[in-house]
Chain A
């Protein structure tokens, strides 16, 4: 008997650090590029086309006592292999419904913060490492960096009895397609981003709105001019407590400066931000970033990706008493050459210059996120 697991089931296991053994039957390059990871997740890769004549050769590689999940790109091959494994006598064989495609699209919602003024949720896109947020107060909701799965935010708002009234993008994303424009159309909410990012549709420019206030929420826009990463990346500082840092600051360290090919210029602006605006912020400000690189390292005890600013500062040499020149030199030296898959086309779609069908959008986003790629573990 084989069973089916959903991306949500897998997400729950990964977050609760449950043991799972994955047989990934995609081809080798796809597996090396991007796969399901977790502290208690062990995986091996044997392409399904090596298993067409039988699975006897791999049975000894599969531990008997662990739950086994067979994974492929879409679903068909994993089911095919799972059936053969079950016939060969294995018990507890499952396949992943919708394959890596559905893993790429699954969002896990976690409560991050609640006080008498607001409630804040984080949405973890476990398959890609992207984070988005909802701030709820007085029957209104503000969404930060929404993914294209707009139903998730509509459902979450409905559950809170709130109406989405504001949407903000911290920058023009290069690794995933923003749901901001679509969500604004569906809800009538105001949609803000930096004009300097070059989007061609209509929105409220953050250059003219450095503060967004609704109900009990006071959001201040920290414009970090970051030519290089993107021309107008911003962070959002909410109620002097939470810093939604976009791609500027991660739990594991600083954002990467090389995506626009102007690493040195960006690094100087980043220095001014880190040693200017951020230096003035209290240690107990909670940093909520736009991405993570390694869930196990960056997720905290409460189950969300985030950390106190003081903790991030203490762990990051670059944020401590560096002079500008050595800071810039080190940041530039860390610049990488790997870019997010399909980033030029994704940027064009997010700017509104190109359009893509739902199927094409799905294809473009398949694969790893490389904005926050293992940046602290060089």
Chain B
């Protein structure tokens, strides 16, 4: 997947992964894709809920060796 930007939030505890994600997302144009890497276990639920409430689309998520990866498409 072609990510416009990648955010490394590994090792950061809640709320920082979302704070960073939101900040980065504000700088993207609608339709562009942000890739987020995080190790906080709550990040999956929270990113899903956040994307849903803001109109962004969580395209895909996966977990590999304790690292959660998310691809989020910026909404209109």
Dominant SS at the B interface?
Answer: helix
User: Does A47 contact B42, Cβ atoms closer than 8 Å?
Assistant: no
In chain B between 25 and 61, which residues have their CB closer than 8 angstroms to a CB of chain A? Answer: 41-42, 45-46, 49-50, 53
Chain B residues bordering chain A, tally (CB within 8 A): 14
How far apart are A240's CB and chain B's nearest CB, in angstroms?
A: 49
In chain A between 150 and 209, which residues have their CB closer than 8 angstroms to a CB of chain B? Answer: none
- Report the interface size class on chain A: 10 to 19
User: Does A74 contact B14, Cβ atoms closer than 8 Å?
Assistant: yes
Interface residue A341 (Cβ < 8 Å from any Cβ of B): no
Interface residue A50 (Cβ < 8 Å from any Cβ of B): yes
Tally of A-B residue pairs with Cβ under 8 A? 44
User: Does A27 contact B15, Cβ atoms closer than 8 Å?
Assistant: no
A76 to B40, CA, bound (A): 11
A17 to B45, CA, bound (A): 33
A50 to B46, CA, bound (A): 11
Closest Cβ neighbor of B42 among chain A residues: A73
Closest Cβ neighbor of B51 among chain A residues: A49
Closest Cβ neighbor of B13 among chain A residues: A76
Interface residue A123 (Cβ < 8 Å from any Cβ of B): no
Interface residue B22 (Cβ < 8 Å from any Cβ of A): yes
A313 to B34, CA, bound (A): 61
Interface residue A29 (Cβ < 8 Å from any Cβ of B): yes
Closest Cβ neighbor of B47 among chain A residues: A49
In chain A between 23 and 45, which residues have their CB closer than 8 angstroms to a CB of chain B? Answer: 27-30
User: Does B45 contact A27, Cβ atoms closer than 8 Å?
Assistant: yes
> Which residues of B are found within 8 Å of A80, using beta-carbon distances?
15, 19
Interface residue B7 (Cβ < 8 Å from any Cβ of A): no
In chain A between 42 and 63, which residues have their CB closer than 8 angstroms to a CB of chain B? Answer: 47-50, 52-53
Interface residue A249 (Cβ < 8 Å from any Cβ of B): no
Interface residue B16 (Cβ < 8 Å from any Cβ of A): yes
Contact for A28 among B16, B42, B49, CB less than 8 A: B49
Interface residue B6 (Cβ < 8 Å from any Cβ of A): no
Interface residue A72 (Cβ < 8 Å from any Cβ of B): yes
In chain A between 327 and 353, which residues have their CB closer than 8 angstroms to a CB of chain B? Answer: none
User: Does B49 contact A48, Cβ atoms closer than 8 Å?
Assistant: no
How far apart are A284's CB and chain B's nearest CB, in angstroms?
A: 48
Interface residue A245 (Cβ < 8 Å from any Cβ of B): no
How far apart are A104's CB and chain B's nearest CB, in angstroms?
A: 14
Q: Which of B16, B19, B42 lies at the interface centre, i.e. has the most chain A CB atoms within 10 A of its CB?
A: B42
A30 to B49, CA, bound (A): 10
User: Does B18 contact A48, Cβ atoms closer than 8 Å?
Assistant: yes
> Which residues of B are found within 8 Å of A47, using beta-carbon distances?
46, 49-50, 53
User: Does A74 contact B15, Cβ atoms closer than 8 Å?
Assistant: no
> Which residues of A are found within 8 Å of B50, using beta-carbon distances?
27, 47, 49
How far apart are A187's CB and chain B's nearest CB, in angstroms?
A: 33
> Which residues of A are found within 8 Å of B16, using beta-carbon distances?
76
Q: Which of A27, A29, A47, A80 lies at the interface centre, i.e. has the most chain B CB atoms within 10 A of its CB?
A: A27
User: Does A29 contact B14, Cβ atoms closer than 8 Å?
Assistant: no
> Which residues of A are found within 8 Å of B13, using beta-carbon distances?
74, 76
A66 to B18, CA, bound (A): 30
Closest Cβ neighbor of B21 among chain A residues: A49
Closest Cβ neighbor of B22 among chain A residues: A52
Knowing A49-B53, A52-B19 touch, does A76 contact B45 (C-beta < 8 A)?
no
Interface residue A233 (Cβ < 8 Å from any Cβ of B): no
**B-binding residues in A (CB < 8 A):** 27-30, 47-50, 52-53, 72-74, 76-77, 80, 363
Known A27-B45, A27-B50, A74-B42; 11 more pairs at CB < 8 Å? A27-B49, A48-B15, A49-B15, A49-B53, A72-B14, A73-B14, A74-B13, A76-B14, A76-B15, A80-B15, A80-B19
**A-binding residues in B (CB < 8 A):** 13-16, 18-19, 22, 41-42, 45-46, 49-50, 53
